Amino acid sequence: MTTTATPQTRSPRRTPAPRAALAGAAKYLSLVLAAGVVVVPLVVILLTSLKTGQEVGTGGPLTLPHDWFNLDNYVNAFQQGNMLQAFVNTTIILVVSTAGTVLIGSMTAYAIDRFEFRFKKLVVGLFLVATLVPGVTTQVATFQIVNDLGAFNTRWAPILLYLGTDIVSIYVFLQFIRSIPVSLDEAARLDGANSFTIYRRIILPMLKPAIATVVIVKGITVYNDFYIPFLYMPSSELGTISTSLFRFKGPFGAHWETISAGTVLVILPTLIVFLALQRFIYSGFSAGATK
Amino acid sequence: MTALQKDRGPGSPVAAGPDAPPDAAPPVRTPRGRGTRRYWWFTPWLYLLAPLVLLVTFTYLPIADMLGYSFTDWDGISPTHENVGAENYTDLFTRPELFKVFLVSGVYLVASFVQIAAALYFATVLSFKARFRNLFKGILFFPYLINGVAIGFVFLYFFQPGGTLDSLLQVVGLHGHHLWLGDPDLVNKSLAGVSVWRYTGLNMVLFLGAIQSIPPHLYEAAALDGANSWQRFRHIIAPSIKPIISLSVILAISGSLAVFEIPYVMTGGANGSETFVIQTVKLAFKFDKVGLASASAVVLLVLILIVTWIQRRLVPEERVELS
């Protein structure tokens, strides 16, 4: 994305230089200011996480920690906050629901795009209308259904919900599968491949870029989701990243050094993933959001 | 839409066309299904079985159930419930304490327009030559990826009396402690500020993608005509990215109605910061008023559908039709 030709500013020659310089300065000032607004609250949390309880109590939030390598709070947060359990639970849910989303999304897209069948319009319409229904609005009733299925307070509840309500990834796959030439399917069919072989051997491999998009978007969404695990998995052994961190509010009350360490622990993996996959993340989220 | 097209760089399926047999149809779309009819009628349904079961179970069944519950006084536990007609709905619109959550949404709505304006500004600035473009883009976008509970804690500390914000204000000479989250007049503005912090980057990235698909020669022509940067924005950028701006406005409106996470984590809905979703969750899961909560959720759903419908009417989509 970043490599596409960017429009260049061709400042017309008659623009007086001082005005242009002033505009340039204002532009950078606004950018630096905005970056500051984003970064300062985060840096303060990082600083706080490195302080001792006493330092937090006596100094202001903007003072620097005495010992920059004081990791006691992290150890504390990790152990007492059950963060290990939380990371394990989140990983299980994340892997299963991301894999499932890819499978379900690509199968749906394959069936809709490559077959003619009765009620196709109805099926497409059902998926289409579902994009308009925001998940938060139906939770009251969804809760009863999850309960009836016996999935309440198990890892199945979030997994089923993440699988069942992700229409956006179906769209991403649909958009993409249309650009795969049907002639490829036909060639394989002439060679005697059945529809499943075509799906597995031709469609899935060619969908790789779309799969990457879906995995990234879904992965970050699941990692950050609070609402679903909070409602459906109240038991503390089933804490995810979000709900375990939320529970810091009780026991650590005003121990901001521990809460800050827990917060940094949760943000850190996101930061690493972001730095590693920046390019894909931007395009992934714009593909997901505009559908 | 534009972003998707961009994803298809080299190595994309279209580029792989030449791998197909030489006598095959050109890579242009051929009409669906012609010549490929060698499957049983139920084959597509094998692929659609799981998706459809999930779709119906977790989207359509809940809507139907919810409509049903909304006319009852069910508490969510007892095996029986009475039909109360439209009582839940009249309650929602006539009891001021239930209705006031809409005023809270108003604050978030105003904030989301600030957010869209800021995103437009930064997207425009960053789509032209600027030093550290990618760094600024990354910094502004990153908040969108952060865990909501983590954001809640970051800003809980930020807004504490004597916390980060107060200390910063002190540095620039504005003394006095404010109850940013304790004062009912301030709390929603503070919380809405967090939303702006969190979502501006997402909007910016969406706008950036759209702006980059504007053909560069338009800018060159404008420059020859002596257009300044405001005119360039007004006459080239704004009209070109209108569809995505309107999408952002819709997302902003439905988003302001559905605010939950940040206020719930930070204040639990105290001091008048209760939003529609917090209220619904409390009614359903804390006060066991599933009937009333369902009615409330139905109202929210209908509102969001109306907003979306208006958008679709006002801005015809350029999107390719399905099937």
Burial class (CB in 10 A: 0-12, 13-18, 19+), A64: exposed
Contact (CB<8Å) B150/A127: no
Label residue A240 by pLDDT band (50, 70, 90): very high
Range A156-194 burial, b when 16+ CB lie within 10 A, else e = bbbbbbbbbbbbbbbbbbbbbbbbbbbbbbbbbbeeebe
CA angle A17, A20, A22 (to 5 degrees): 110
3-state class (DSSP) for residue B42: coil
Contact (CB<8Å) B122/A45: no
Across A124-138, B43-57, B197-211, B273-287, least confident range: A124-138
Which candidate from B51, B157, B323 shows the least CB-CB separation from A104? B51
| pLDDT greater than 80 at residue A164 | yes
d(CA A284, CA A278): 10
Chain A residues whose CB is inside 8 A of the B20 CB are 181, 183-184, 187
d(CA B81, CA A132): 30
Chain B residues whose CB is inside 8 A of the A31 CB are 122, 125-126, 130, 132, 136
Which candidate from B47, B62, B229 shows the least CB-CB separation from A142? B62
A214/chain B closest Cα distance in angstroms: 12
Name the closest residue on chain B to residue A111, using Cα atoms. B44
Return mean pLDDT, chain B: 82
d(CA A84, CA A77): 10
3-state class (DSSP) for residue B72: strand
Q: Cβ distance A206 to A180 under 8 Å?
A: yes
Contact (CB<8Å) A141/B138: no
Contact (CB<8Å) B146/A1: no
pLDDT score at B85: 84
| pLDDT greater than 80 at residue B22 | no
Whole-prediction pTM: 0.84
Which of A184, A279, A290 best tests the B interface by mutation, with the highest count of B CBs <10 A? A290
Chain B residues whose CB is inside 8 A of the A59 CB are none
Q: Cβ distance B124 to B233 under 8 Å?
A: yes
pLDDT score at B95: 85
| pLDDT greater than 80 at residue B24 | no
3-state class (DSSP) for residue A205: helix
Q: Cβ distance B176 to B170 under 8 Å?
A: no
Label residue B37 by pLDDT band (50, 70, 90): low
- Written as one string, the DSSP assignment of B78-116 is SS---B-TTHHHHHHHH-HHHHTHHHHHHHHHHHHHHHH
A186/chain B closest Cα distance in angstroms: 6
Contact (CB<8Å) A124/B35: no
Average pLDDT over residues A211-239: 93
Label residue B313 by pLDDT band (50, 70, 90): confident
Bridge partners (DSSP) of residue B188 are none
Helices marked H in chain B: 2-7, 43-55, 61-69, 87-94, 96-99, 101-126, 133-141, 148-159, 164-171, 187-212, 216-224, 229-232, 238-240, 242-257, 261-266, 276-285, 290-314
pLDDT score at A131: 80
Average pLDDT over residues B221-231: 85
| pLDDT greater than 50 at residue B319 | no
| pLDDT greater than 80 at residue A211 | yes
pLDDT score at A149: 94
Cβ of residue A163 closer than 8 Å to a chain B Cβ: yes
Range B113-130 burial, b when 16+ CB lie within 10 A, else e = eebbebbbbbbbbbbbeb
| pLDDT greater than 60 at residue B258 | yes
d(CA A119, CA A124): 9
| pLDDT greater than 80 at residue B35 | no
